Amino acid sequence: MAGCSGKVFVVGAGPGDPSLITVKGLQLLREADVILYDRLVPGELLKEAKPSAEKIYVGKAPGAHTYTQEEINKMLLSLALKGKTVVRLHGGDPYVFGRGEEECAFLLSNGVCCEVVPGVTSALAAPAYAGIPVTSRGISSSFAVVTGRVAPDSSKTIRYSEIARAVDTLIILMGVSELENIVADLLAGGVDPSTPVAIVEQGTTPSQRVIVGRLRNIVELARRERVSPPAVVVVGNVVKLREKLWKLA
Ligand code: SAH
């Protein structure tokens, strides 16, 4: 740790099934003095911490943030400067819509080392547990992962239909509340209304639920089934492979 006055490990906890954390992530979790964890981190994993470890919930439920990102950054910094072994535990992968990179950048700019331990992202694992591979020879040679929600302070908009036409599989995170708008955008942009769509709710957990439809009826199905977050939406012909792979899953 030459040149560092402390260190934080930014660790991916995996998508929900607690056994999907990496070996390295689990080892660090067991050694940590302090763990700052997200809302979507599997509760089971926190039991792996040593009894003396301090566990701080820093989750950000939509519209109900316990701490701002700035406060989280400062907390990480001050704990690391006190010489604690700090683990910042993110749901899925820390660098996939997780703001792990903002935390590392902040720490490094303040002279504290930061090591990222990637995690299994829900973007790939939730479809996989639902029997949907995101690529498949002859069916899908590309996929894109997009967010359904753009940061309120961002001037960027996402051109869903352009992305959907450019790749074979479109994977949408944080898409439940915006599903109607996103589907309207895709249809208006010329994406085939008969394109298969799956929604994987609470993927990789015992409460996993999969809703399958077509672009033309998925909004109605999601409403009827009262789909709620967290859920991953998969758009593309790979969804059909579920018929073959699900029974074996
Ligand atoms: N870093 C995380 C993503 C954080 S954004 C990762 O790599 O998985 C939060 C979004 O991830 C949720 O809104 C949802 O779209 C998705 N998500 C996280 N856990 C999920 C799960 N168990 N099942 C389905 N979607 C999940």
Instruction: Check whether 55 has a pLDDT greater than 80.
Output: yes
Question: Residue 2: which pLDDT band, with cuts at 50, 70 and 90?
Answer: low
Q: What is the pLDDT of residue 150?
A: 77
Q: What is the pLDDT of residue 29?
A: 98
Residues of the chain with pLDDT > 90, as a percent, come to 90
In whole angstroms, give the CA distance from residue 211 to residue 111. 47
Ligand 1 mutation pick, 134, 232, 233, max ligand atoms within 8 A of CB: 232
Does CATH number 3.40.50.2020 belong to domain 7-117? no
| Catalytic residue positions, numbered | 38, 60, 174
What separation in angstroms does the CA of 8 have from each of 25, 56, 80, 84, 105? Answer: 12, 14, 6, 9, 11
Q: What is the pLDDT of residue 5?
A: 83
CB burial of residue 56 (10 Å; 0-12, 13-18, 19+): middle
**Does ligand 1 come within 6 angstroms of the Cβ of 59?**
no
Instruction: Check whether 154 has a pLDDT greater than 90.
Output: no
Give me the mean pLDDT over the 13-28 stretch.
98
Question: Using one digit for the tens of pLDDT, what is the confidence trace for 57-109?
Answer: 999 776 777 899 999 999 999 999 999 999 999 999 999 999 999 999 999 99
Q: Return the ligand 1 atom nearest residue 208 CA.
A: 23
The answer to whether the 7-117 and 122-248 domains have the same CATH topology is no
Give me the mean pLDDT over the 140-155 stretch.
87
Architecture of the domain defined by 122-248: 2-Layer Sandwich (3.30)
Q: What is the pLDDT of residue 248?
A: 56
Length of the chain: 249
Report the chain's mean pLDDT, rounded to a whole number: 95
Q: What is the pLDDT of residue 65?
A: 73
pTM of the full structure: 0.95
Q: What is the pLDDT of residue 104?
A: 98
CB burial of residue 50 (10 Å; 0-12, 13-18, 19+): exposed
Instruction: Give the residue extent of every domain in the chain.
Output: 7-117, 122-248
What residues contact residue 27 under an 8 Å CB cut-off, 6+ apart?
none
Instruction: Check whether 13 has a pLDDT greater than 60.
Output: yes
CB burial of residue 69 (10 Å; 0-12, 13-18, 19+): middle
Between the CA of 171 and the centroid of ligand 1 the distance, in Å, is 11
Structure tokens at 119: 């995690």
The least confident of 1-10, 48-57, 97-106, 202-211 is 1-10
In whole angstroms, give the CA distance from residue 24 to residue 216. 43
Between the CA of 80 and the centroid of ligand 1 the distance, in Å, is 27
